[in-house]
Amino acid sequence: MRILLVGPFPPYRGGISMFNHSLSQELQKDHEVHRISFSLQYPKLLFPGKTQYSNFNGEPASESINSVNPLSWRKTANDINKIYPDLIIFQYWMPFFAPAFSSIAKQVKKGCNAKIIVNCNNITAHEPKPWDNQMTKSFFSYCDGFMVMSNTVEADLKAIQSNPKYKRSPHPIYDVFGDSVDKDKARNSLGLGQENIILYFGLIRDYKGLDILLDSAKLLKNRMKKFKILVAGECYGNENKYIQLAQENNVMDIIDFRFDFVPNEKVSQYFCASDLVVLPYRSATQSGVVPIAYHFDKPVVVSNVGGLHEIVEEGKSGYVCDPTPESISEMIIKFFNEDAVQFTEFISKYKQNFSWSNYINVLMELADL
């Protein structure tokens, strides 16, 4: 089958780009795969980070979509029609891209017989606008099927699309971050000691609840010894507010702030140096951080929002808590009172449920509907 993937690819950074890269790697084992990415993904005025690019390069992709230039949308559609794919898979995660994707999909529908499937990372934006649903509906009207990775996204899809054809499969385990490394070597490379390490990982935005974790640190400090919370990720916003909160809570001595984007080649160091990964999110659909943790056999504590809890086996691969300092601190303490080896052994087997081959099988079932 000739398959075309549309969305960000490396060197664009972020979870969607990594997802597309891994999806492409898996699909091309049995299919002819083409890739179309962005020439401009986010205008500078709309991008809060330091850069949109990483030093990771995957398979080459045609960088033809300018998200704010309709002329590029027409050219992209013409290029797709020349490829004449059997199947087109769009990555969708933000209504901002709906106008471009709608235009491309509409023109492609006129030019070739390709089936269009959308992998729905998010349908409802984390910071929603009044017009979001209408733009998403417009794009989805040109699509034939939808992949969802959580019950939350499934519900969002049904809320805006009448009788959608869809399949659900959990977020696969990322396979682009290398193998596990020795814990002591990882800690030495990061300048960490032998205390218990609690990892908060990923791009930092308000909805991801770092402030809640910093408030829980105040409670943990009174009940735990020899631990440190390692915060690793670029801050999309004012990082000083987190430093100030840590100072007000008198927990600077147990917080290690590293407000920089973590490149792929260093991801293994952070996870392998850690004992527990915590996601204290206020809202979520799903998260790519949990699959990374599982890749390195690390247990998680996640807040009970969106689809985060759906892939956590309570007391086996981690714990689910409320997004409050009290609940988060209780689950962290509960974990460190348990035998960590049991978690590791369970996750090493449990993560096989989240293979890329399983995801592809479900995707192909949807393509055949």
Domain with CATH 3.40.50.11930 in the chain: 2-168
What residues contact residue 110 under an 8 Å CB cut-off, 6+ apart? none
pLDDT for residue 26 is more than 90: yes
CATH 3.40.50.11930 fits 2-168, yes or no: yes
pLDDT given for residue 286 in this prediction: 86
The model's confidence at residue 45, banded by pLDDT at 50, 70 and 90, is confident
The partner residues of 35 in beta bridges, in order of sequence, read 5
- In this predicted model, what pLDDT tens digit does every residue of 208-244 receive, in sequence order? 999 999 999 999 999 999 999 999 999 988 999 999 9
CATH of 183-352, one of 3.40.50.2000, 3.40.50.1220, 3.40.640.10, 3.20.20.70: 3.40.50.2000
Distance CA 352, CA 294 (A): 10
pLDDT given for residue 52 in this prediction: 87
Q: Are 121 and 149 in contact (CB under 8 A)?
A: yes
Return the percentage of the chain with pLDDT > 90, whole number.
89
pLDDT for residue 51 is more than 90: no
The model's confidence at residue 53, banded by pLDDT at 50, 70 and 90, is confident
pLDDT given for residue 264 in this prediction: 92
pLDDT given for residue 48 in this prediction: 78
pLDDT given for residue 219 in this prediction: 97
Q: Are 359 and 148 in contact (CB under 8 A)?
A: no
The model's confidence at residue 127, banded by pLDDT at 50, 70 and 90, is confident
- Phi first, then psi, for residue 200 (nearest 5°) are -110, 120
The model's confidence at residue 58, banded by pLDDT at 50, 70 and 90, is confident
For the residues 261-272, what does the mean pLDDT come to?
A: 96
For the residues 188-194, what does the mean pLDDT come to?
A: 96
The model's confidence at residue 350, banded by pLDDT at 50, 70 and 90, is very high
pLDDT for residue 126 is more than 80: no
For the residues 257-274, what does the mean pLDDT come to?
A: 96
pLDDT given for residue 326 in this prediction: 98
- In this predicted model, what pLDDT tens digit does every residue of 309-336 receive, in sequence order? 999 999 999 999 999 999 999 999 999 9
Q: Are 91 and 10 in contact (CB under 8 A)?
A: no
- In this predicted model, what pLDDT tens digit does every residue of 62-91 receive, in sequence order? 999 999 999 999 999 999 999 999 999 999
pLDDT for residue 118 is more than 80: yes
| Average pLDDT for the chain | 95
For the residues 6-13, what does the mean pLDDT come to?
A: 95
pLDDT given for residue 369 in this prediction: 77
* Residue 156 half-sphere exposure toward CB, CA atoms < 13 A: 28
Domain with CATH 3.40.50.2000 in the chain: 183-352
- Which has more confidence, 48 or 153? 153
pLDDT given for residue 61 in this prediction: 95
pLDDT for residue 280 is more than 80: yes
**What is the arrangement of strands in the sheet containing 318-321, beginning at the earlier edge strand?**
255-258, 227-232, 196-201, 276-279, 300-303, 318-321
